């Protein structure tokens, strides 16, 4: 797979085949972030890896799936993520830039995709409940959460134009459609 194919195939996945993802596999993904750029080279992001069944279940209860799919409560048992990576800002090491978080997330996503896995990045979660469940201290602020697993669902990209509806949806065959604005429409000078 060349780089563009990798990026194109790196679609958000919300239904997985149920295979677990080991702590070592999650660690290997975080290891990639070490090589990513970050503002002032501060390296202030910290990570927690969640691969045990009990903690995975607690996280699942406290994340919000697919805001646009109003009638879908999230994946059924057997189609849930194989593991999670949590990204934190640690007050002991100062603030990181928002951009650092995004770069780290996409690095993890592409790394996962390169080995046949897929992710769903979560910005919507109950931080207090998750931190309590995992026994994490007040120094840690959850800035992003990433579900990792082996993809089950089919996802396609639909080309749309500026001003068109950009809400993703599922069709009658359960194929997940993601509208993406064509490149020409993203340019400020046409
Ligand atoms: C910063 C960020 C936060 C997101 N938060 C959520 C979330 O809380 N729940 C969810 O189901 N998807 C979430 N997503 C996934 C987006 O909905 C998804 O990226 C978007 O629909 C485009 O699909 P694609 O990733 O396949 O391109 C998030 C993505 C990003 C980058």
pLDDT band at 87; cut points 50, 70, 90: very high
Which atom of ligand 1 is nearest the CA belonging to 11?
Answer: 26
Q: Would you say 45 and 127 are in contact if contact means Cβ atoms under 8 Å apart? A: no
Kindly state the DSSP code that residue 123 receives in the 8-state scheme: S
**pLDDT given at position 94:** 87
Q: How confident is the model at residue 78 (pLDDT cuts 50, 70, 90)?
A: very high
Q: Is the pLDDT of residue 1 over 90?
A: no
123 lines ligand 1 (CB under 6 A): yes
Comparing CA positions, the residue from 34, 28, 64, 63 lying closest to residue 49 is 28
Domains contained in the chain, CATH given: 3-152 (3.40.109.10), 154-190 (2.20.180.10)
Segment 25-50 mean pLDDT: 97
Is 168 close to ligand 1, i.e. is its CB under 6 Å away? yes
Alpha carbon of 168 to ligand 1 centroid (Å): 10
d(CA 123, CA 72): 18
Interval 102-153: pLDDT, tens: 999 999 999 999 999 999 999 999 999 999 999 999 999 999 999 999 999 9
pTM assigned to the model: 0.98
Q: Which atom of ligand 1 is least distant from the CA of 66? A: 11
The two three-digit tokens of residue 139, written as one number:
């120094």
Q: Are 52 and 113 in contact (CB under 8 A)?
A: no
* pLDDT at res. 122: 98
12 lines ligand 1 (CB under 6 A): yes
pLDDT for the residue numbered 69? 98
Is the pLDDT score of 61 beyond 90?
Answer: yes
Residue to mutate, 62, 70, 72, 122, ligand 1, most ligand atoms under 8 Å from C-beta: 122
């Amino acid at each position: 797979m060349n780089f563009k194919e990798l990026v194109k195939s790196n679609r958000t996945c919300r239904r997985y085949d149920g295979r677990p993802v080991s702590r070592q596999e999650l660690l290997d993904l975080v290891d990639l972030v070490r090589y990513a750029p970050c503002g002032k080279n501060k390296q202030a992001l910290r990570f927690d890896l969640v691969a045990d069944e009990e903690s995975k279940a607690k996280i699942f209860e406290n994340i919000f799936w697919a805001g646009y799919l109003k009638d879908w409560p999230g994946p059924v048992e057997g189609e849930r993520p194989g593991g999670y990576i949590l990204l934190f800002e640690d007050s002991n090491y100062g603030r990181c830039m928002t951009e650092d978080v995004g770069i780290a997330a996409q690095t993890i996503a592409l790394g996962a995709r390169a080995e046949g896995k897929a992710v769903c990045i979560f910005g919507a979660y109950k931080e207090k409940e998750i931190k309590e469940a995992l026994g994490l201290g007040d120094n840690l602020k959850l800035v992003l959460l990433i579900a990792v697993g082996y993809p089950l669902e089919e996802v396609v990209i639909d080309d749309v134009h500026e001003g068109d509806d950009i809400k993703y949806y599922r069709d009658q065959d359960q194929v997940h459609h993601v509208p993406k604005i064509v490149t020409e429409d993203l340019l400020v000078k046409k």
